[in-house]
Structure 1
Amino acid sequence: MAKGWDTVPRKASYDVVIVGGAIYGSATAWFLTENPDFDGSILVVERDPSYASCSTAHTNSCIRQQFSNTLNVQISRFGAEFIKGFRGFMGDDPRVPELSIQNYGYMYLADTPEFAATLRENQKVQLACGAGTRLLTAEEIKAEYPFYNVDDILLGSINTVDEGYWDGGTVFEWWRRMARERGAEYVANEVVAMTKSASGARVESVTLKSGEVIGCGQVVNASGPRAIETARMAGLEIPVEPRKRFTWIFEAETPLDRDLPLTIDPSGVHCRQDGPKTYLAGGHPSHDPAVEYDDFAMDQAFWQDHVWPVLATRIPQFEAIRVITEWAGHYAYNTLDHNAVLGPHPEVENFIFLNGFSGHGLQQSPAMGRGTAEFLTYGEYRSLDLSPFGYDRIVSQQPFIEKAVI
């Protein structure tokens, strides 16, 4: 058992049982405790209190405004507001640090007329929401960032306002810590089964691996890449599976003379500034199957044969680099449309989805955690209407359209 964690719940039933205690389970728990209209009990069940293999631990911790869907832009704009006002949102507690966004920006590079047209369409959506996205010709990119090779580039899109790296680990830690201080109960255990009512319309209890049967008013599936396992306990399906994503931290023999935006190369490889003299690169092979939940093995051939050559071609100073550290993590990948599945199941009314973020999860956690807490409290969303992410679209196979997916 992890230090400070119980394994057995103190009560026989809870108003809200959250399955998974990483960024989304903890965001929901904290926002519930923050809401003056919620006075219920909360149980968070986390199977691995070390969080060693969860997606939250492996994130690259970035935020962007450059989405194609208005709702996703609005979600990120609240995320930026929350990060920059973090201490205030946390009640001006002097223990809580002030946070900021390192505004390297995202640089999308288009090498085809079709992709350039998409960037132009996306910018209109972003500007209408108040984002500061700029479109740059190849010559303008070269003037601002002379280290790029832009011989094949037709257009770039960049926003250096509320776009870049932020300290997601600190937000997660304080959400979890404050939720517990306010009475949300965390246990190191695992939900292994659920019992539904005779009509099948509600989950009445969850069974823990240690044998306890815990009554529940509402259940939140915050299980990350394991979302389908939790859903199936209630007899439900969700198109979410673990997909492997690779990250490398490296240093260059000749560092760049200015910050490197999070650059999305047309090849799919992305890279950004990581520290004063270090850089981060990420990507995945074109063959991108679901993987086992414990598969975090690196693919050295992918780095050697694809990622490094792409980096060296796009930024010639990256011809001579040295990898410092590397890791693989899992996206909770929504195979329908790469966007979140949120809210209740239409038939099992108290089973709440909070799944399938497909790499957008950390940056969307403030708005999505707030929205889920609102739904649990009021039965509706009140700050942002998040209903387009509802499960109904899974049933009807109608994708939520978002063109800017990395």
Structure 2
Amino acid sequence: MTESVLDYMTRLGRAAREASRVIARASTAQKNRALLAAASALDSARAELTEANAKDLAAGRENGLEPAMLDRLALTPARIDAMIEGLRQVATLPDPIGAIRDLSYRPSGIQVGKMRVPLGVVGIIYESRPNVTIDAASLCLKSGNATILRGGSEAIHSNRAVAACIQRGLAAADLPAAVVQVVETTDRAAVGALITMPEFVDVIVPRGGKGLIERVSRDARVPVIKHLDGICHVYVDALAELAKAQKIAFNAKTYRYGICGAMETLLVHQSVAADFLPAMAAQFTEKGVELRGCERTRELIAANPATEDDWATEYLAAILSIRIVDDLDQAIEHINHYGSHHTDSIVTEHQGHARRFMAEVDSSSVMLNTPTCFADGFEYGLGAEIGISTDKLHARGPVGLEGLTCEKYVVVGDGQLRGQNA
């Protein structure tokens, strides 16, 4: 009899729960051995990875995937290099598990502190980018968690090839194969099952389009770490160094259009707009970026009219909205109203303006004189990241090793009893 999707996912969940107990007590050396062996396996399997990815890219083109999605799907030699480097970097990161902090004596003579422990089983649902398989697996493994990975159907061949390398790494370190499991079925019912198994799964991390994340947030019976959109801003202040601002804005938009840290709206102070925007617009136009501007912007440069919807849109494409603002207050108000609380940057040489922006903009990352595309776990020194959270509970910003752990209280005594007459 053919196994149903629910039975299959239940089997994966049960195996992950059992494996989570093994990986939770694994030594740092054992976890690092698995990571480094997986990196070697990836390096040896470049031809297989490229061949599997070519199948996914061909199917994606045949199915009419957008260029931005095809870009996210592609496993170029440089991205394979980055995956290998990510594994090796995670192996060098300090192991957070078992660390005890704030251990202090209480008047009773007991000591109370906090110990960092794994979350348990992490379910990760993602689209397009097969490198997420490595990012997620490496961080979950190092932080002592088992993980169930459900990639998009468009990357099924690539994800299977990557998973085979991870399995070789686990085997080399004598760790159970179920520490990292890639869902083999492309049936969408697998997602529904994964997000409603609190007996097996402790947290869900969705990485993908808004539709996926909204569905997971709505239907999950398991806690979710997420962000919906990456509507990121760069604000060029009245006291910005304009040559620097031009380089930052250009990099923020064009480094890669399809990442959640790409700038989608450029805000410019009215006092510098006439000096800044014409040269900036010429650079974007030469690159092929479509510009959409407010009325004041369109008096200075050639741009299509920006609508109300544009300010609240994550394009993930070569499109940029531009607005001229009256002052810092209006810039902050615009970002907090239209933004997605992901990543926003100010370009200024004024320390007071910088501090106000960084304090008052309600985003998971705020930046000074830096392009928003730096919003990335690798760039933050976290190694790979499992995602970016715009939530305010548990984890916020790029979620690395520490974001995949929690703390429990530990109490140490030597026979003390409660109560004066005990």
Query: Considering the TM-score relative to the shorter chain, is it more than 0.5?
Result: no
- For normalisation by structure 1, the TM-score amounts to 0.30
With CA pairs under 8 Å and 6+ residues apart, which has the higher RCO, 1 or 2? 1
Identify, as 1 or 2, the structure richer in strand.
1
Structure with max Cα Rg? 2
